[in-house]
Structure 1
Amino acid sequence: MIEMKSAYCGLALALAVAPAGAADISAPGSAVVNTGSKYQVTLDGWLAGLNGDIGVRGLPTAAVDVSPLDVLESLDGVFAGSFQAVGDSWLLYTDVMWAKISTEADVGPFGGTARFEQKQIVATALVGYELPINVENMQLYATGGLRYQHNEVELDIDPAFFPSVNRSGSQSWVDPIVGLTMHYDVNDKWFVDVMADIGGFGVASDITLQGTATVGYNWTDTIASSFGYKALYTDYEEGGFRYDATQHGIFTRLAVRF
């Protein structure tokens, strides 16, 4: 049932634009000393594959192993953005991501089709406090907050000579998360951002982990871009809905500061 699994693998977000760690929002060369609040909005891109086990109520859990390019073909729409504010010793960060994918494949030895559709929302809200470290041009924040995830799934199977099957499910949950966010200015043009967090703790997910590392460039005092890698793992099960999977792939960001 390889074709069937391909349809089911639509659960992978092909191009999930999603938030990553806090990017530099200071003017080049002035990141070490913050004077008052500074703000940043971003558009993010994440070319992500998916590996793991996913199940919808009424159907057995399916093993998913999809490359970013495979799932990219199934993308119907995607949007993500974030907002960030930084003060003298604190950080506020929020983002939202929405994506929709659908795919159709042949199933069974005698023909038939399977169609899969999924909508996903991921949103994060964080508060951070700068830690006292004695490293020039580096800011390190301890962060805490919440991550909201929503998955809406529909699967239609229409095999030849057998009755069709329709299954759908929708699940939403919120996880507490804690972590670290680091920004380092290599010089007045180049910078490095790293973010890591862990959460869930059985409140909703058994566990959720996220990590992002990027290298960025300040084009002007107000425009910057960055490029790197991002991974998000979540282990969640409730009411017949099973999601134990890792999204991972190349991450890009375009930032505007004001």
Structure 2
Amino acid sequence: MGVLLAAPAAAQDSGWSFAVSPYLWAPGIESAVETQWGTVGVDMSTSDVLSDLDLAFMGAFEARNGRWGLIADLFYAELSQSRANPLGPLFTRGRIETSAKALSGYAGYRVSEKERLAVDALVGFRVTDLELDLSLSPGVLPGQRLGVSGTWVDPVIGVRARVAIGENWFATTLADLGGFGGDSDQTWQVLAIVGYQLDARWSVQGGWRWFSAEHELEGLDVETDFSGPLLGLTARF
């Protein structure tokens, strides 16, 4: 408690300001895995996720001093879906279980700051950890089970803009692109939120997030896309 009470004064003395933002995120998922028999894909909407009570956690932390800032963004999602006859008559049912974690870190520089608009240029990295478990039920062929997993790091570049709307309302967008390793290694995300400033320290926000990762894991091309609504709270000190 003493640390929390002392934090605003310490931040003011050092010139740094900080923001912590936990979110609830309910993403749908589109996932595709190449196999020797063809590509198995699933498409799970946000309504499907909510009906199964699957939610993902995400959180962000920012430290800022003048025009410079450091941003960390983390999310975790664990979802699954099954579908009938994913490869025609070869298998009667396919099920993909997906576990994804991604940590993005940026150094930001404020390239423009006006009365109601602030724009930051971002450069950094993304560490992605992905596990997919594919189960294929017997059809013409006997049942199969494939599991792929991996952790990799991509460089990313991006931009963030915040616009003041009226006295207490604001909108923020963030977009980045990374990978640059060819068609089998790329990642991108877009975040769009609208928020309300409760007071100098607290704000609430809601919006939508899109996240995509494509990578070769254990010789198989894997593509996973998440998108869905989010709701969060920010504390500044």
* TM-score with structure 1 setting the length: 0.73
Report percent identity of matched pairs. 29
5+ residue gaps in structure 2?
A: 1-13
Decide which of 191, 214, 226 is 1:235's aligned counterpart: 214
Instruction: Determine the structure 2 residue equivalent to 1:157.
Output: 136
1:244 to 2:227 alignment: no
Residues 116-175 of structure 1 show CA distances to partners (whole Å, capped at 9, x for unaligned) of 422111111011011145x31322111100111111122233437964322111122211
Native 8 Å contact 1:54 1:61 kept in 2: yes
Decide which of 119, 132, 151 is 2:99's aligned counterpart: 119
* TM-score with structure 2 setting the length: 0.78
**Residue 50 of structure 1: CA displacement?**
3.2
Decide which of 189, 192, 208 is 2:168's aligned counterpart: 189
The one-letter amino acid of 2:144's match is: V
Residues 183-237 of structure 1 show CA distances to partners (whole Å, capped at 9, x for unaligned) of 2222441111111111111179543222222111012222211122222233323
The one-letter amino acid of 2:116's match is: N
Instruction: Determine the structure 2 residue equivalent to 1:12.
Output: none
Q: Alpha carbon RMSD of aligned pairs, Å?
A: 2.9
Instruction: Determine the structure 1 residue equivalent to 2:58.
Output: 80
Instruction: Determine the structure 2 residue equivalent to 1:89.
Output: 67
The one-letter amino acid of 1:217's match is: Y
Decide which of 130, 146, 171 is 2:125's aligned counterpart: 146
Instruction: Determine the structure 2 residue equivalent to 1:180.
Output: 159
- How far apart in 1 are the matches of 2:80 and 2:112? 47
- How far apart in 1 are the matches of 2:117 and 2:201? 20
- How far apart in 1 are the matches of 2:29 and 2:125? 23
Q: How many pairs align?
A: 221
Instruction: Determine the structure 2 residue equivalent to 1:25.
Output: none
Instruction: Determine the structure 1 residue equivalent to 2:40.
Output: 62
The one-letter amino acid of 2:125's match is: L
Instruction: Determine the structure 1 residue equivalent to 2:4.
Output: none
Q: Do the aligned partners of residues 91 and 204 (structure 1) sit closer, same or farther apart at CA in structure 2, a change above 3 Å counting?
A: farther
Decide which of 35, 45, 55 is 2:24's aligned counterpart: 45
- How far apart in 1 are the matches of 2:17 and 2:160? 17
Q: Do the aligned partners of residues 75 and 148 (structure 1) sit closer, same or farther apart at CA in structure 2, a change above 3 Å counting?
A: farther
Instruction: Determine the structure 1 residue equivalent to 2:111.
Output: 131
Instruction: Determine the structure 1 residue equivalent to 2:11.
Output: none
Larger RCO, structure (CA 8 Å, separation 6 or more): 1
**Residue 112 of structure 1: CA displacement?**
6.7
Question: Which structure's residues are more often strand, by fraction?
Answer: 2
**Residue 90 of structure 1: CA displacement?**
0.8
